[in-house]
Amino acid sequence: MAKRNIEILVGLFVLLGMLALVFLALQAANLASLSTGATYSLVARFDNIGGLKPRAPVRSAGVVVGRVKSITLDPKTYQGLVALEVDVRYRFPKDSAAKILTAGLLGDQYVGLEAGGDDKDLVAGDTIAQTQSAVVLENLIGQFITGKAADAGTAAGGKP
């Protein structure tokens, strides 16, 4: 009888471990907060989306207000079109801005919405006019190195 109780406890422990792994997998894939509430769609155009992925959070003041629905390339302007699904509880003015931001130094990227001051709100299907593309670390390093090389050339007697 004691052996059977131990086997049941071990089985429960393994089951709890599996549930914990499923929970962690859902958290890592941004699927843990599946929202069944009503949303409205917005579109934002970015010159560079960096490492933004579908299902990435849309945040305003640190609060998750929606998700990235899809990312496509506009064949005419060659800009990234990011379709956003925003919860209907949150309304943003027409002059709001969208930025691609990074959570932490090397964290996941997300879309940050900054509310404007317009009296009219964005409605389903609207395009956010003011956007700021992702900051790509490799580009920043390249600009820094290029700037330092140019400074070294002018300091050595080269033309500015």
Q: How confident is the model at residue 29 (pLDDT cuts 50, 70, 90)?
A: low
Residue type at 128 in one-letter notation:
I
Q: Which residue has the higher pLDDT, 78 or 1?
A: 78
Task: Judge contact between 119 and 88, C-beta under 8 A.
Answer: no
Q: What is the pLDDT of residues 65-77, one digit of tens each?
A: 999 999 999 999 9
Q: Nearest Cα to 127, choosing from 45, 40, 54, 39?
A: 45
Distance, CA of 98 to CA of 113 (rounded, Å): 5
Task: Judge contact between 59 and 103, C-beta under 8 A.
Answer: no
At residue 117, does pLDDT exceed 60? yes
User: Which residues have a Cβ under 8 Å from the Cβ of 51 and sit 6 or more positions away?
Assistant: 108, 109, 134
Q: What is the pLDDT of residues 92-114, one digit of tens each?
A: 999 999 999 988 766 788 999 99
